[in-house]
């Protein structure tokens, strides 16, 4: 039965072309749609034109052969897409064919029947798309990007050659699977990458963007910036396909790492710096469990570093710091941290062992060997090229959690403990205590109050006579500062002077004292003695001022018509250790202006005799701690005698401080001491009281009555804090 004839109506009504051909390629029938497709108006015209299908129909002659092979092997052809010639005018079109073979009862092939669909339009659109894609790929690759095209649900991923080369692979070396790259992603970066992908899949981000490391063929890691976008989704909105790029950002990451390193580590010693330590401590503290092991923060400060730097230069100073850092490191366990906070300050953080909660006493016991080791390591000699240098260290310790819970407070408390260790004479460690905090708070309070004290006229100056021991004559007095605060009352200079020194407030305050004393000495040179001299205490901090400052003191004397010798400057031994050139010049300027220099509190400081010769010193003041215990035959008497003998040999005069008894006075006088200053003679007095005291006593009476003054104490001391 003729199947085409049987279905003739259907055959002709089909919207797509339909035909029957012989296996040899001769067209037997064509329906109306196929006639139209080929540009004819009748079937006869078409049949007449279609004589040799392999060359007349297919643009690629081999297609007909492929068509036949397929149909003979499988009995049918489906979805056979080719480029063909429209038979009427030989314009090119794209067609999709389907066909099957019709056989006779014996199985011999009778003919082929099939359909032809003109898909030119959709095909060219797809083609254009593909070309478009090829073009942007090319553009991206030219810009140095690797391109990937991921079929999310099948797991297929096509990577451009450029992308493969980025990781050291030849084209074709990596399988076209997303897993290949995922497996090469750094373990630390995977979670983040998955999250960024999920966010994009779920529509939380317009584009996918992630930075991660990929393991290259040679095992090294490369940082890439991956950017992409889902370009198609299924009916449920799940991603089907995602396209994107990889950009090599290793260079940028390296630069960033370098900047980070520079921002968090000390270039000289390679140790973490303050910022890094803060960061590490913040982390450590956030992980500490209640009742768990605590930790200790140790502030270490090298005691004589400044001197080394000043005398031997910064290169030597730097080498010292590098060695000190290494020595500290050697004292520590692997879990302990040491950081350089700047200058000669280091910080060590030691954690308690897991499972041993910090009990105040035991914790300190545990830390002591380490602290001793640190002190020992840092006080051993440093061989720095040709120089052998000795320094020591002071250490302040604060513990978490009992001393403080916050990093900033731990630092503050360790610093307070360090302050105490330094104040107690260096080369030692101190644990933070609540009393230290109270003292620190008191100092802070004093500092705040001191800032207003000058403006509010809370200061006054009192004068204590220095009596010539052999004669009872008085032509010298020491100016001593007094501070009477409206609510705190009289505050002792022993308390506020160090605070004023540390804050720099001593400079304006000291200038004010100088002005008072200068005016006073001018008055007393007229009223009491034309050679009267007032000693003024001057702190090291006042010597670190610019040279103009010295000039102004000299100027002030001159403007009052006073010679330099009307004033003596009292300095401490510590100042002589200061190798700063500005200090030496400053002192010389004072001396050049004719002022006397008096070395205060002699015997309490470093007492190195060598510097006594280096500087012209006029007076040496024996500290009251030696005078206090003077008895016949005492060691202190021997010491006083030695000091006096030495001073005489060097051409200096000696003042004994804190003379309170007639016995002390007599012993000192016998030893050849020139002047005595102390409650035995008079307390520091306000100017009018001083004048009355001078009027009411004679040299002889001062010598005779002196013993009584000891007990009366009522010689009119102003301020009352002496
Ligand atoms: P300094 O210069 O050694 O002053 C001597 C201190 O001993 C004074 O204490 C004085 O009142 C006290 N003193 C005098 N005689 C006796 C005595 O017989 N027995 C006892 N126990 N003490 C006696 P003050 O006035 O409290 O001053 C303490 C320190 O404060 C001074 O020690 C000085 O270093 C500093 N200071 C005082 N006024 C100034 C100042 O105007 N500028 C600076 N930079 N420092 C000052
Ligand atoms: Mg003094
Ligand atoms: Mg003194």
Q: What is the DSSP string of 72-119?
A: HHHSEEEEEEEEEE-TTT--EEEEEEEEEEEE-TTS-EEEEEEEEEE-
Residue 248's pLDDT is: 94
Instruction: Report which of 643, 585, 637, 578 is spatially closest to residue 609, judged by C-alpha positions.
Output: 643
* Strand 387-389 to 382-384 pairing: antiparallel
Measured CA to CA, the distance from residue 148 to residue 140 in angstroms comes to 11
Q: Are 500 and 450 in contact (CB under 8 A)?
A: yes
Ligand 1 pocket check for 600: Cβ under 6 Å: yes
Ligand 1 pocket check for 623: Cβ under 6 Å: no
Task: Kindly list the protein residues that place their beta carbon closer than 5 angstroms to ligand 2, a single-atom ion.
Answer: 537, 570, 600
Ligand 1 pocket check for 492: Cβ under 6 Å: yes
Is the C-alpha dihedral spanning 604, 610, 611, 612 positive or negative?
Answer: positive
Task: Kindly list the protein residues that place their beta carbon closer than 5 angstroms to ligand 3, a single-atom ion.
Answer: 600-601, 657
Q: Are 85 and 56 in contact (CB under 8 A)?
A: yes
Q: Which ligand is nearest to the CA of 684?
A: 1
Residue 369 in tokens: 């060997």
Ligand 1 pocket check for 464: Cβ under 6 Å: yes
- Residues 6 or more apart from 526 whose CB is under 8 A from it? none
Residue 133's pLDDT is: 75
Q: Which ligand is nearest to the CA of 677?
A: 1
Q: Which residue has the tokens 């006593």?
A: 697
Ligand 1 pocket check for 537: Cβ under 6 Å: yes
The alpha carbon of 589 and the centre of ligand 3 are apart by a number of angstroms equal to 23
Give, using CA atoms, the residue closest to atom 12 of ligand 1: 722
Q: Which ligand is nearest to the CA of 621?
A: 3
Give, using CA atoms, the residue closest to atom 46 of ligand 1: 537
Distances (CA, A) of 451 to 97, 439, 446, 511, 691: 100, 18, 9, 15, 31
The alpha carbon of 585 and the centre of ligand 1 are apart by a number of angstroms equal to 26
10-residue stretch averages of pLDDT, the chain, 722 residues long: 59 88 84 92 88 81 85 86 90 91 88 91 80 74 84 91 92 87 95 95 91 95 94 87 92 92 93 93 81 87 89 92 97 92 94 61 83 96 92 95 90 95 91 92 94 96 96 96 96 95 93 96 95 96 71 88 96 78 82 93 73 82 94 93 91 96 94 96 97 92 60 40 36
Ligand 1 pocket check for 583: Cβ under 6 Å: no
Ligand 1 pocket check for 660: Cβ under 6 Å: yes
Ligand 1 atom closest to residue 572's alpha carbon, by position in its atom list: 34
Give, using CA atoms, the residue closest to atom 30 of ligand 1: 493
Distances (CA, A) of 381 to 369, 378, 389, 392, 654: 20, 8, 6, 9, 37
Q: Which ligand is nearest to the CA of 569?
A: 2
Ligand 1 pocket check for 510: Cβ under 6 Å: yes
Q: Are 160 and 141 in contact (CB under 8 A)?
A: yes
Distances (CA, A) of 329 to 269, 338, 467, 588: 11, 7, 57, 44
For helices 360-379 and 314-331, the axis angle rounded to 10 degrees is: 140
Q: Are 637 and 673 in contact (CB under 8 A)?
A: no
The alpha carbon of 480 and the centre of ligand 1 are apart by a number of angstroms equal to 6
pTM score: 0.63
């Amino acid at each position: 039965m003729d199947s085409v004839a049987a279905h003739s109506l259907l055959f002709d009504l089909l919207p797509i072309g339909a035909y029957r051909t012989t296996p040899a390629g001769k067209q037997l029938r064509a329906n109306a749609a196929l006639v139209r497709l080929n540009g004819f108006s009748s079937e006869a015209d078409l049949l007449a034109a279609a004589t040799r299908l392999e060359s007349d129909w297919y643009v690629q002659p081999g297609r007909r052969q492929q068509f036949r092979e397929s149909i003979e092997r499988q009995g049918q052809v489906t979805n056979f897409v080719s480029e063909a010639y429209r038979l009427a005018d030989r314009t090119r079109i794209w067609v999709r064919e389907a066909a099957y073979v019709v056989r006779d009862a014996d199985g011999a092939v009778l003919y082929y029947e099939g359909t032809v669909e003109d898909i030119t339009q959709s095909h060219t659109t797809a083609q254009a798309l593909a070309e478009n894609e090829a073009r942007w790929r090319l553009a991206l690759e030219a810009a140095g990007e690797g391109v990937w095209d991921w079929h999310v649900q099948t797991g297929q991923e096509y990577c451009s050659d450029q992308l493969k080369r980025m990781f050291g692979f030849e084209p074709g070396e990596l399988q076209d699977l997303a897993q290949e790259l995922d497996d090469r992603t750094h373990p630390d970066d995977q979670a983040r990458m998955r999250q960024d992908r999920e966010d994009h899949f779920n529509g939380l981000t317009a584009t996918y963007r992630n930075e991660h490391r990929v393991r290259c063929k040679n095992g090294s890691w490369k940082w890439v910036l991956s950017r992409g976008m889902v370009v198609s989704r299924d009916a449920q909105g799940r991603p089907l396909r995602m396209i994107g790029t990889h950009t090599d950002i290793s260079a940028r990451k390296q630069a960033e790492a370098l900047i980070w390193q520079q921002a968090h580590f000390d270039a000289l010693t390679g140790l973490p710096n303050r910022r890094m330590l803060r960061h590490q401590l913040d982390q450590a503290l956030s992980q500490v469990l209640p009742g768990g092991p605590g930790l200790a923060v140790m502030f270490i400060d090298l005691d004589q570093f400044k001197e080394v730097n000043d005398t031997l230069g910064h290169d030597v100073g730097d080498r010292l710091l590098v060695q000190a850092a290494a020595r500290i490191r050697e004292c520590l366990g692997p879990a302990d941290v040491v950081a350089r906070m700047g200058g000669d300050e280091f910080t060590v953080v030691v954690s308690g062992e897991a499972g041993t909660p910090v009990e105040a006493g035991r914790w300190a016991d545990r830390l002591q060997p380490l602290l001793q080791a640190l002190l020992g390591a840092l006080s051993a000699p440093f061989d720095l090229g040709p120089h052998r240098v000795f320094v020591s260290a002071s250490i302040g310790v604060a513990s978490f959690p009992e001393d403080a819970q916050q990093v900033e407070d731990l630092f503050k408390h360790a610093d307070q403990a360090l302050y105490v260790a330094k104040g107690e004479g260096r080369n030692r460690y101190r644990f933070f205590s609540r009393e230290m905090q109270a003292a620190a708070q008191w100092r802070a309070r004093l500092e705040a109050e001191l800032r207003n004290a000058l403006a509010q006229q809370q200061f006054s100056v009192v004068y204590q006579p220095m009596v010539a021991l052999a004669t009872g004559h008085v032509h010298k007095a020491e100016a001593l500062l007094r501070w009477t605060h409206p609510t705190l009352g009289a505050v002792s200079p022993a308390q506020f002077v160090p605070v004023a020194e540390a804050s720099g407030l001593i400079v304006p305050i000291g200038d004010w004292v100088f002005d008072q004393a200068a005016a006073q000495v001018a008055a007393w040179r007229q009223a009491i003695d034309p050679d009267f001299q007032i000693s003024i205490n001057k702190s090291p901090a006042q010597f670190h001022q610019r040279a103009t400052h010295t000039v102004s003191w000299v100027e002030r004397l001159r403007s009052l018509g006073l010679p330099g010798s009307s004033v003596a400057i009292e300095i401490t031994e510590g100042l002589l250790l200061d190798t700063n050139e500005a200090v030496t010049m400053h002192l010389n300027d004072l001396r050049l202006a004719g002022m006397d220099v008096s070395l205060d509190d002699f015997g309490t400081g470093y007492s190195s005799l060598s510097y006594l010769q280096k500087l012209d010193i006029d007076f040496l003041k024996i500290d009251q701690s030696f005078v206090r215990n003077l008895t016949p035959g005492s060691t202190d008497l021997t010491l006083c005698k030695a000091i006096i003998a030495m001073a005489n040999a060097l051409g200096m005069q000696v003042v004994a401080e804190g003379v309170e008894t007639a016995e002390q006075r007599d012993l000192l006088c016998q030893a050849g001491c020139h002047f005595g200053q102390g409650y035995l003679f008079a307390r520091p007095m306000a100017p009018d009281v001083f004048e009355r005291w001078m009027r009411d006593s004679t040299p002889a009476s001062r010598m005779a009555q002196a013993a009584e003054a000891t007990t009366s104490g009522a010689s009119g001391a102003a301020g009352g804090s002496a």
